[in-house]
Chain A
Amino acid sequence: GAVVSQHPSRVICKSGTSVKIECRSLDFQATTMFWYRQFPKQSLMLMATSNEGSKATYEQGVEKDKFLINHASLTLSTLTVTSAHPEDSSFYICSALGPGPYNEQFFGPGTRLTVL
């Protein structure tokens, strides 16, 4: 149980283009999902908290106009990196708040974004 999928697993794009990443909870409904970014040899950095049916809450320093988050259903959240630049190249990982009472987060497999 508590499986989270993410698509695509890897994407390479040109500078200035936009990239959409999908995060799905496969066997449970997730009212809350999270988006993280991880640079090489660094820890996970929370970018935003996504709640179904409402606007995402962004962490300090994260540009909400650049990283668009939509959580339109109880099983799907999307992150769109708009006008991507090489410095946006990173490992983007989503997680979903699990169905139990203890606020466990279950992670998707991640998306490796490379912007040329």
Chain B
Amino acid sequence: QKEVEQNSGPLSVPEGAIASLNCTYSDRGSQSFFWYRQYSGKSPELIMSIYSNGDKEDGRFTAQLNKASQYVSLLIRDSQPSDSATYLCASGYSTLTFGKGTMLLVSP
């Protein structure tokens, strides 16, 4: 069974700090990895995708992928209160398996 594991949190960080979110996946055949942000009562919004080992940066966000360890992470620099949300990790290719999400709380 394909699984994606995330710590449910909440992860609390002060404004301006770096938030680090982690995820492990079980399916070694997964080729694509995604981070979605979901505000309470809203649908997920794609914020990062990564397909190759290493780091990928986009603005304040950096995704890291280690296929050997089956590990994906998301770093958010200069965290803002507006970043407070649940972050969903997903892996797969034609279909995605989602983790249960990590709640991030950024305090002013």
Contact = CB atoms under 8 A, between A and B. Distances in A.
B101 A43 contact: yes
Interface string B25-61: 0000000101010000011111001010000000000
A62 to B, nearest CB: 13
B46 A43 contact: no
B100 A42 contact: yes
A109 B88 contact: no
Nearest to A109: B43
Interface string A36-47: 000000111010
Contact of B43 (A34, A46, A104, A108): A108
Given A43-B100, A46-B96, A105 B42 contact: no
Q: Tell me which of A43, A46, A102 has the highest count of chain B C-beta atoms within 10 A of its own C-beta.
A: A43
Contact of A106 (B42, B46, B94, B95): B46
A43 B99 contact: yes
A104 B34 contact: yes
13 contacts: A43-B88, A43-B99, A46-B96, A49-B95, A93-B44, A102-B51, A103-B92, A104-B32, A104-B34, A105-B96, A107-B44, A109-B42, A109-B43
Interface of A: 32, 34, 42-44, 46, 49, 93, 102-110
